[in-house]
Structure 1
Amino acid sequence: MADTSREWRLAKRPHGEPELDCFELHERDVPVPERGEVLIRVRYLSVDPYMRGRMRDSESYADPWAVGDPLRGGVVGEVAASESDRYDVGDLVSGRGTWADYTVLDAADVTAVDPDIADLPAYLGTLGMPGRTAYFGLLEVGEPKPGDTVVVSGAAGAVGSTVGQIAKLNGCRVVGFAGSREKTAWLTEDLGFDAAIDYRAREDYAAALEEAAPGGVDVYFDNVGGPITDAVFTKLNRDARVAVCGQIAHYNDEEVPTGPRKLPSLIATRARVEGLLVRDFATRHDEANDRLARWVDDGDIVHRETIVEGLENAPDAFLGLFAGDNVGKQVVEVSTPP
C-alpha cells in the first residue's frame, strides 16, 4: 500500500459552467481507519450531474461543499485495511467516498459487490445509485402500466437507460431523447427502446414526439428539463405522471430561467408532476439492489459505462457530463488490481 494518497478538492466556486481551475489536486498521507471503519483503495470513481449543485454556496437537497473540501461521490474498490468485523482486507465494496486514491468509510455504509454478476464499474451505474434512482423513480413515481407510453429525457445516461429498460419489462412503449446518432442507435438496437429522438438533429421536439409517440405520453421521466420538457408537456395524456429526476439543462444557469408557462396544461390533463430523491427510499435500497442484480444477471437489463482513465482526469470526466460525452454511466478508473 502506498504512503500517500492524491485527493481532489474544490478550489473555488464556479460561475456558470465549471472550469478546470475550480479543482485542485492535493497529496496527503493515506488516511487511517478508526474503529468501525474501512480503508478503501479506490478502483473506480463516479462523477454525476448532481455534484454541480454541491459546488454552489446555496441550500439544496445536498449540502454544498466548502471551498477546500475534498470532492465526494460514489466509489467502488478493495478493502485495504479494516477496523470492522464486517469486512476483511481484499473484499470488494462500494460506498460514498472522496475523489482520491484511498478513502475511509464507515463499514455500516459500505456494500459488498459481486464481480460475477457485473464488472465493478456497473456498481456505480445500473447496480448503484443511478439504477436505484431509475427503479424507484419509474415504478413508484411514474407508476407505469402495460401499454403506457413512457418518454425519457437523457435516455442514454446511467439513469435514463435503466428507466427505459425497466419500462419495457413492464410492458410499456418507450421513447428516449438522446444527443447523437450513436446514442439513439444504442437505445433502439441494444436496449429495446421503441423509438429514439436525436435532439441535436431535430429542432421541433413536439413534432418529433408526434411521430414517435402519436398516442401521447402517459409517463415522462425527466432528467434534463429545458425545451425537451416544454415539448413533452404539450403531449401529456390525461392522468399522466411526470417524474422529475434531474434538470441538467439548467445546472450551470446563474439565474432561474423562465420558459413557456406549461402549468395550465395540467388542469385539463390532471397530470401529476412529482420530484424524486433516491434517498427517500433508503429503507428499500436492498430491494432495488436485488432486483436490478437479477435483471442484469439474467440479461434483461443491459448496462454500459464510459470510462475515463486516471484520477488526474476526474475533473475532465465531470465536465464531460455537460458536453454529453458519456454513453451510459461516466466513471473514472483510479487504479487497476494489484
Structure 2
Amino acid sequence: MAAIPKTHRRVVLVRRPPGEPAETDFRVEEVPVPEPRHGEVLVKVLYLSLDPYQRGRMRDAASYAPAVGLNEVMTGGTVGEVVASHNPRFKAGDIVEDRLGWQEYAIGGGPNLRIVDATVAPISTANGVLGMPGMTAYFGLLDVGQPKPGETIIVSAASGAVGQVVGQIGKIMGCRVVGIAGGAKKCGFVTGELGFDACLDYKAETDLDAALRTACPHGIDVYFDNVGGEISDAVLRNINTFGRVALCGSISQYNAATPPMGPRLMGTFVGKRVTARGFIVTDFAERYAPARRQMGEWIRSGRLKYREDVVEGIDKAPRAFIGMLRGENFGKMLVKLA
C-alpha cells in the first residue's frame, strides 16, 4: 500500500448558480489529509459519482436533504480503499462505499459506510448499477411502477445511469419497454445493447405524441420519469387508464431559474385513475441488501448490462458534472481518482 500523502485535493462549492452551473462555481483546493479518530477510517477515494440530484444540493432551498454549504466539499457518492482504520468493522485494504464527497481522501465510519464485494462486479458499479442509481431503478420500477407482464413501460433518459437499468428490469419482468433518449447513438445502444423494444430520439422527433402512439400501440401503463418537462407532458397525454407514474427526477428543469409551466394534466388523471408517486431511493434502504443480491445475479447471468462514462482526475469533476446536466454523458457518469 502506498504511503499516505500529507495533502490532497478536494472540490468545494463557492457560489450558488441561479441557472446552469459554471466551472467558476467550484474551487479545487489542496488541503491536509485528515486524521481518522476513534471509530473512523481514512478512505482513499478511487471513484467519485456524478449524479443529477447534486444540482439540487447547490441550492439553498428546503429539500429532502440539506444543501451543500458555501466553501464546503461538494456532496457525492464514492468508492474507495480504507488506508487507515480506527474502527473494528473495517481494515486497511477494504473497498468501501459511502457518500464522502468530491475529494481524494475522506473520513468515513458512519452507519452508511459499507464494504463492497469486488468479486461480484467491478468496484465502480458500487456507485452505479449496484449502488444508488441501481437501487433507484429497482425500487422505483418494481415498488412504485408495479409493472405486470405484458404491460408497456416508458423510460425517459433511457441511456442514463437509472434509465438503462429500469428498462432492462422491465424486460426481465416480461414487459414491452420503450426508451426516450437524446441522439441516434444513445437510442442505438438502448435497443441494440440493452434490449429495449424501441427508443425514441427526442432530439429528432417532430411529433413526440405521434411517435409514442406508434411505439406503444397498446398505450402506456407505466412511466418512469427522469426528465419532466415537455417529454413528460407527451408521455402523460398517452397514458392508459390505471397507469402508474414513478416520479424519479426532472433533469430538464434542474438549471431553470423559474421552471416553465406545463399542461395541467391532473384532470386527465382523474378520469384515467392514474397513480403518480414521487419517491426517494433511501425510502427503501432497509431492503438494499436483497436487491443488490438480485441485481448481482442478473449481472453475472448477462441479463443486466451497464455502461459507464468515466473521466480521470478530480479537477475534471466540475466540467463533467455540467456536461451531465446537459445530457453530454453516455451512461453512468464517474470520475476516476486513482
Match of 2:28? 25
Scaled by the length of structure 1, the TM-score of the pair is: 0.97
Matches within 5 A, 1:38-187: 38-187=41-190
Letter in 2 for 1:310: G
1:281-301, Cα deviation, whole Å (9 max, x unpaired): 111111222111111122110
- 1:308 matched to 2:311? The reply is yes
Q: Distance in 2 between matches of 1:203 and 1:124?
A: 36
Q: CA deviation at 1:237?
A: 0.6
Is this contact kept in 2: 1:223–1:244, CA < 8 A? yes
Letter in 1 for 2:336: E
Is this contact kept in 2: 1:40–1:102, CA < 8 A? yes
Match of 2:330? 327
Letter in 1 for 2:246: A
Q: Distance in 1 between matches of 2:72 and 2:102?
A: 11
Q: Distance in 1 between matches of 2:266 and 2:108?
A: 44
Is this contact kept in 2: 1:76–1:92, CA < 8 A? yes
Is this contact kept in 2: 1:122–1:304, CA < 8 A? no
Match of 2:234? 231
Scaled by the length of structure 2, the TM-score of the pair is: 0.97
Q: Distance in 2 between matches of 1:241 and 1:107?
A: 36
Q: Distance in 1 between matches of 2:103 and 2:78?
A: 9
Unaligned runs of 5+ in 2: none
**Aligned to 1:158, what secondary structure does the other structure show?**
coil
- CA spacing shift, 1:259–1:107, aligned 2, 3 Å: closer
Q: Distance in 2 between matches of 1:203 and 1:51?
A: 31
**Aligned to 1:98, what secondary structure does the other structure show?**
coil
**Is the deviation greater in 230-239 or in 291-300?**
291-300
Letter in 1 for 2:178: V
Match of 1:292? 295
Q: Distance in 1 between matches of 2:215 and 2:39?
A: 53
Aligned length: 335
- 1:256 matched to 2:259? The reply is yes
1:38-76, Cα deviation, whole Å (9 max, x unpaired): 111011000111111111111011211111111111100
Is this contact kept in 2: 1:152–1:222, CA < 8 A? yes
Q: Distance in 2 between matches of 1:126 and 1:194?
A: 21
Letter in 1 for 2:298: W
Match of 2:40? 37
1:122-165, Cα deviation, whole Å (9 max, x unpaired): 11110100000000000000000000100000110000000000
**Aligned to 2:287, what secondary structure does the other structure show?**
helix
Is this contact kept in 2: 1:38–1:107, CA < 8 A? no
Letter in 1 for 2:240: N
Is this contact kept in 2: 1:87–1:107, CA < 8 A? no
Match of 2:207? 204
Q: Distance in 2 between matches of 1:322 and 1:253?
A: 11
Is this contact kept in 2: 1:84–1:107, CA < 8 A? no
Q: CA deviation at 1:110?
A: 1.4
**Is the deviation greater in 286-295 or in 232-241?**
286-295
Letter in 2 for 1:72: T
**Is the deviation greater in 105-114 or in 321-330?**
105-114
Q: CA deviation at 1:28?
A: 1.0
| Aligned-residue identity in percent | 47
Cα root mean square deviation, aligned:
1.0
Q: Distance in 2 between matches of 1:113 and 1:57?
A: 33
Q: CA deviation at 1:107?
A: 5.0
Letter in 1 for 2:235: V
Letter in 1 for 2:16: R
Unaligned runs of 5+ in 1: none
**Aligned to 1:72, what secondary structure does the other structure show?**
coil
Q: Distance in 1 between matches of 2:303 and 2:117?
A: 18
Is this contact kept in 2: 1:86–1:107, CA < 8 A? no
Q: Distance in 2 between matches of 1:232 and 1:258?
A: 16
